[in-house]
Amino acid sequence: MKKKVVIVGGVAGGASAAARLRRLDEKAEIILLEKGDYISYANCGLPYYIGGVIKEREDLFLQTPQRLRTQYNIDVRTGHEVLKINRTEKTVEVKEVASGRLYTETYDILLLSPGAAPLRPKIPGLEGENVFTLRNVYDTDGIKNYLLEHRPQKALVLGASFIGLEIAENLVEAGLEVAIVDLASRVLPKNLDYEMAAPLHCHLRKQGIKLYLNTAVSAVERREGQVRALLSNGGQIPYDLAIVSVGTLPQSQLAKAAGLELGVNGAIRVNSSLQTSDPNIYAVGDAIEVESGITGEKTYLPLAGPANRQGRLAADAISGRTIQYEGVIGTAIVKVFGLTAASVGLTEESLKASGAHYLVAITHPASHATYYPGASPVAIKLLFTREGRILGAQVVGAQSVDKCIDVLATVLKTGGTVDDLARLELAYAPPYSSAKSPVNIAGYVAGNIIRGDMKAVSWEQILDHDNPGLVLLDVREKIEVEAGHLEGALHIPLNDLRKRLHELPKDKEIVVYCQVGLRAYIAARILKQNGFKVSNLNGGWRTLKPILEDRMANLCQDKSGS
């Protein structure tokens, strides 16, 4: 029997489902209804077109309506908005946008892929032709045209999300002065913990970006032809162009009106077969609630990768194949000028909030063999259980970040442990990695912590708490100490430690640190086996330095009020 499938919405989820469905079922009648003019475009590439990195607008379009019609025999109707779902009659009410004509379309199976809409905070005065969000091609064209026609000099970006950071970078590339404002204490607050975000803060400031964290825009004031954002800290930011990037909400109004069950954030609730509460209606993409592949909890996580996969799986299910959507682990990555930040799984902040028990390892291995030119540090934060199961990871660096996060995500996804990381046999040649890859090293250090070979102390314990029972010991060389160190720390270079043990107390815990942790680990093993109580500063001085720099920059900014 010929099946009629109506798909509402294109882009990642809907277009992927339509193409996959045709490959599985040549006889099915497939209708794709899209309110806009574009059914498949590179959503994540939009900021780079604005900044001129992507030169041609046409390069943003991955699939055209005409190609879907001719290659896949799909009835693609752009400029057609679905207004209502009648579940009893299995019909949708459709409006042809250009003419206003209304008509009814029947379906056997309905697939919803309406996406998400950008949030617009209710800030007095934040309106006008110079205020934009960035979610689709129309937004992109509006920003691009405004840049060309009005030649703005100063830009305000509200929100330090992925899109916020990407558009900030590309506005700098376009020649603008940029300020970023976010309520959170750090950029990428859902993906990075503070110590992993601090290097990005320092890097953004070096690129000329003004960063206002723990700060809100309370109002916008227009006076004598100038627009100013009034900040909660008393400061002001003049701007010519504003981009709002504070998050998204699922476009679930159609589903809600049809009586379909909704979940977290008002997203459409689906089962493991991507069916809604109506078995004849499926839903995918940024409009649906998903399950965490780590905790099993319901959540909302709009990302392009999962949306594409959901579209493909939904097509399999509609075609009669058995599927089991296993949820999301949230693998994500972003370019921030010359650095890259990536994450997968849970953050330490979310683990603390849930009351979960976890351990942390922070390492700073080189991106490839240090004797081969061009190596640079890669910061890796690994979160794991006492049994070694990986809960999350964060990676920041100039090189090899994508490779590291993909390996970490693969091991996490397959239920692997930190010992699995240590055992991995990965590609090695001096230009690309080291004989012990960065993820091997992360696994080794995590294993040392689990087995009690090394007790780790966090940077917060050292910087933010009184520690009368602790003695700080810096085992770096003198030249390194002179370049920056913790006040009050004893200094004994590692090579001198064995002959100077008598200088250290045995009635207090000694916290050892070096540049990245290796020498401190060696020192800790020496001390422990000589009867001392000892622990290591997780991540060493390389973790502390950007935190101290960031705090100083924030302090100076607070004092100046701008």
* Cβ neighbour number for residue 161 with a 10 Å cutoff: 22
* 8-state DSSP, 286: G
Q: Among 276, 426, 404, 410, which residue's Cα sits nearest to residue 341?
A: 404
Q: Is the dihedral of CA 493, 496, 502, 506 positive or negative?
A: positive
Convert 249-284 into a string of H (helix), E (strand) and C (coil).
EECCHHHHHCCCCECHHHCECCCCCCECCCCCEEEC
DSSP E strand boundaries for 11-152: 29-34, 40-41, 61-63, 75-78, 80-86, 91-96, 102-106, 109-112, 116-118, 131-133
**Residue that is written with structure tokens 């607070």 in the block:** 558
As a whole number of angstroms, the distance between CA 171 and CA 159 comes to 14
Q: Is the dihedral of CA 193, 195, 197, 201 positive or negative?
A: positive
Q: Residue 176: CA atoms inside 13 Å, Cβ hemisphere, count?
A: 31
In angstroms, the CA 120 to CA 89 distance is 36
AA identity, residue 300: Y
Query: Is 556 designated active site?
Result: no
Closest by CA position to 167, among listed 205, 192, 134: 134
Tallying the residues shown for the chain, one arrives at 562
CA atoms within 13 A on the CB side of 271: 12
Phi, psi of 488 (to 5 degrees): 85, 0
Q: Are 543 and 514 in contact (CB under 8 A)?
A: no
Among candidates 207, 167, 165, 172, which has minimal Cα distance to 186?
A: 165
SS3 state of residue 81? strand
- In terms of C-beta density within 10 A (0-12 exposed, 13-18 middle, 19 or more buried), how is residue 130 classed? middle
Q: Which of 44, 202, 514, 556 is catalytic?
A: 44
198 backbone dihedrals φ, ψ, rounded to 5°: -55, -40
For 177, the 3-state DSSP assignment is: strand
What are 164's two structure tokens? 């916020």
Catalytic residues: 44
